[in-house]
Structure formats: structure tokens, C-alpha cells
């Protein structure tokens, strides 16, 4: 499903919301998965409560806990879709008492300046 003209744009998925309390985390991930087929230059940024989307140990299922499907392993499947650029905001992690050890995938932690630089390079920003 590659674009005929071979246009490759830089797409940034901006994730700032916690998982489960609303559908944004899950549905934005669905865009990433479908979008992967278009072979664009994709980055995912997790800022504010968005960092919680990557928290290890999410425990729920349709029949247990909150009765909602656990979609967290999908973040681990992203690599298989060639979506490997996952960036986490340093301040958001720290103010939540989290470190990369708490996360279920490998990410690159960026400070304000680095994240701003990443954002500056983007062509399309999808916010959810």
C-alpha cells in the first residue's frame, strides 16, 4: 500500500492520555498499526499521562479485573511493523515516579529540548 509517488513524510503520533480511562490510547495505536503499511517515517511520542500507556504489568481482560481487553502487548508488536521510534518525555516520567525500568518496551527518553527538536522535524502530527 505504498504511495504511488513514493512520498515519505514524517508522522508523529502524540500520546498524552492514560490508557483505559478513555479509548484514545487504544484507537491511536490502531492508527499506528494501519499506518505502518504506508511505510512513512513514524515516531511515537509519549508525554504527560501518555507515558502510562507503556507501563509494565497491565492486568485486565474481558472477563477479569475491569473487564476490558489488555492491549498493552500491542506496543511490543510495533517493532514487527517497523515502528521503532518510541520517545518518552523525561519530565513526564520523573514527575510520575517512573523510570524506563517500569516500561514494557524500549524507548528513548528525551528532555524538553530534544523533544522540541523531534517535533520541529515532523510533517504531520496526529493528536488523539
Partner 1 sequence: MLHTVNKSPFDKNSLESCLRFARQGHSILLFEDGIYGAVTGTRFETLILDALKSYNIYVLVPDLEARGMRTDNVIEGIKATDYAGFVDLVEKNQTVQAWL
Partner 2 sequence: MNRYQLSINAPVVLTQTGASITVIIHFSFFKGEVHTMKFAVLVNEGPYQHQASDSAYQFTRAALEKGHEIFRVFFYHDGVNNASRLTVPPQDDRHIVNRWSELAKQHNLDLVVCIAAAQRRGMLDENEAKRHGKDANNIAEGFRISGLGQLIEAGIQSERLVVFGD
Confirm or reject binding of residue 40 to partner 1 (CB under 8 A): no
Residues between 13 and 42 with contacts to partner 2, criterion CB under 8 A? 23-24, 27, 30-31, 34-35, 37-38, 40
DSSP assigned state of 87: E
Q: Radius of gyration (Cα) for the chain, nearest Å?
A: 15
- 3 state DSSP class of 114: helix
Q: How are strands ordered across the β-sheet holding 85-89?
A: 108-110, 85-89, 41-46, 10-15, 124-127
Of the ranges 36-44, 65-73, 99-107, 117-125, which one interacts with partner 1 (CB under 8 A)?
117-125
- Which residues lie near partner 1 (CB under 8 A)? 14, 16, 47-48, 91, 112, 115-116, 119-120, 122-125, 127-128
Amino acid at each position: 500500500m505504498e504511495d504511488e509517488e513514493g512520498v515519505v513524510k514524517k508522522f508523529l503520533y502524540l500520546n498524552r492520555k492514560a490508557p483505559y480511562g478513555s479509548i484514545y490510547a487504544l484507537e491511536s495505536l490502531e492508527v499506528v498499526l494501519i499506518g505502518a503499511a504506508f511505510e512513512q517515517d513514524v515516531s511515537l511520542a509519549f508525554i504527560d499521562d501518555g507515558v502510562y500507556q507503556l507501563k509494565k504489568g497491565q492486568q485486565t481482560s474481558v472477563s477479569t479485573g475491569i473487564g476490558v481487553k489488555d492491549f498493552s502487548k500491542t506496543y511490543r508488536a510495533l517493532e514487527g511493523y517497523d515502528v521503532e521510534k518510541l520517545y518518552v518525555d523525561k519530565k513526564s516520567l520523573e514527575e510520575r515516579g517512573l523510570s524506563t525500568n517500569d516500561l514494557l518496551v524500549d524507548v528513548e527518553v528525551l528532555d524538553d529540548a530534544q523533544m522540541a527538536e523531534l517535533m520541529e522535524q515532523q510533517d504531520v502530527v496526529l493528536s488523539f
